[in-house]
Amino acid sequence: MNFYIIPTPIGNLEDLTLRSKNILSSLDFLVVENKNVSIKLLNKHSINIKKILIYNDNSSEKDRKKILSLLKTSIYGGVISDAGTPLISDPGFKLVRYLLENNVNIISLPGANSITTALVGSGLPTNKFQFLGFAPKQKDAIKNLFKKIISFDGTSIFFESPLRVHKTLIILKALDKKLKLEVCLAKELTKINEKFIRGNLSYVVEAIQSDPTLQKGEFVLLISAQNFEDEETEVEELYEKLRKHLSVKDLSLVISTLTGINKNQLYKKFLQLSKKST
């Protein structure tokens, strides 16, 4: 029993690989996320599938059992998502795990993927990256996302919707007070209106505020923290450099001026540090 994971184009329908096209043409049945979307791709490449099944977020174990039973009577089956590589932030994971548990041979094909397409075009470091799925909706959750970004020595990648991209960027900008993070907003990849907006968070926010069309479409947001120095580390480094030359009171005033942090808050912190060092 062979079951293929088949990537589909993320925007330009001509990006279907020759191997994927040949495999699709040979399948006994195909599992899709949205039949109307998938039919457009199949028709574009003159591919006729004998049987098409729907599998999405609402699918259950009953649906997985049905697909397994079909595999037992057929030679080839496969799955595609609406766009890109199946299982990347889509519901196919539970299906593939279930099939693996039932001794189905899973064959994963290479192909289109918005994560790597955005990364290699971003200009950000590519040697180390993490994918964080869809950006959260709530402000506190975005703050937690920010912590994950700045604690990772590489490029963080996540998806964002056109309805929330502006709000998310504004919150991240407020958290990145010194604008140390490198950012790339990749819009409508492989489509006619594809665009990469590169810069710090202030630049990217201003760019989409000045051009409302940039708030429409599908987005991949990439952020590199390689040059980011968090506030706590910076304050402690300044303290170590200056503590032998200035009083705690003067230290608090000087470092407050340099960092914008409240001087009373710094004074309390430096008092504690001075006690530890004596």
Any idea which residue has 């964080």 for tokens?
A: 132
| pTM of the predicted model as reported, rounded to 2 decimal places | 0.80
CATH topology for 2-108 is Cobalt-precorrin-4 Transmethylase; domain 1 (3.40.1010)
**pLDDT exceeds cutoff 70 at 231:** no
pLDDT at 63 over 90: yes
Mean pLDDT, the chain, rounded, equals 91
Residues 108-123 have pLDDT tens digits of 999 999 999 999 999 9
Q: What is the average pLDDT across 71-79?
A: 92
Q: Where are the domains of the chain?
A: 2-108, 114-224, 231-277
| Residue with token string 């009577």 | 73
What is the CB neighbour count within 10 angstroms for residue 137?
Answer: 12
pLDDT, tens only, 136-185: 999 999 999 998 998 898 999 999 999 899 999 999 999 888 778 999 99
The pLDDT tens digits for 6-37 are 999 999 999 999 999 999 999 999 999 999 99
Burial class (CB in 10 A: 0-12, 13-18, 19+), 76: middle
How far is CA 130 from its chain centroid? 8
Q: Which residue has the higher pLDDT, 60 or 75?
A: 60
pLDDT score at 91: 85
Residue 230 pLDDT greater than 60, yes or no: no
By CB neighbour count within 10 A (0-12 exposed, 13-18 middle, 19+ buried), where does 252 fall? buried
Q: What is the mean pLDDT of residues 94-108?
A: 97
228 pLDDT above the threshold of 70: no
Task: Find the range with the poorest average confidence among 32-46, 94-108, 149-163, 248-262.
Answer: 248-262
Whether pLDDT at 217 is above 80: yes
The region of weakest confidence among 63-72, 139-148, 219-228 is 219-228
pLDDT at residue 178, as a whole number: 76
Instruction: Give the N- to C-terminal CA distance of the chain in Å, as an integer.
Output: 71
The CA R_g of the chain, rounded to the nearest whole Å, is 25
Percentage with pLDDT > 70 across the chain? 96
Instruction: Domain 114-224: give its CATH architecture.
Output: 2-Layer Sandwich (3.30)
- What is the average per-residue pLDDT within 67-90? 92
In which order are the strands placed within the sheet that holds 129-134?
129-134, 155-160, 219-224, 182-187, 195-199
- C-beta contacts of 85-90 below 8 A and 24+ residues apart: 85/5, 85/7, 85/111, 85/112, 85/113, 86/5, 86/6, 86/7, 87/5, 88/113, 88/115, 88/131, 89/133, 89/134, 89/159, 90/33
Q: Which helix (H) or strand (E) holds 85?
A: none
| Nearest-angstrom CA–CA distance, 197 and 204 | 6
CA distance linking residue 146 with residue 201, whole number of Å: 12
The pLDDT assigned to 44 comes to 97
Cα–Cα distance measured from residue 218 to residue 161, given in angstroms and rounded to the nearest whole number? 6
Scan for tokens 């790339």, then name that residue: 184
Asked if the model's pLDDT at residue 203 lies above 60, the reply is yes
CA distance 97 to 35: 23
Residue type, 91: P
Report the C-alpha dihedral over residues 23, 28, 34, 39, rounded to 10 degrees.
70
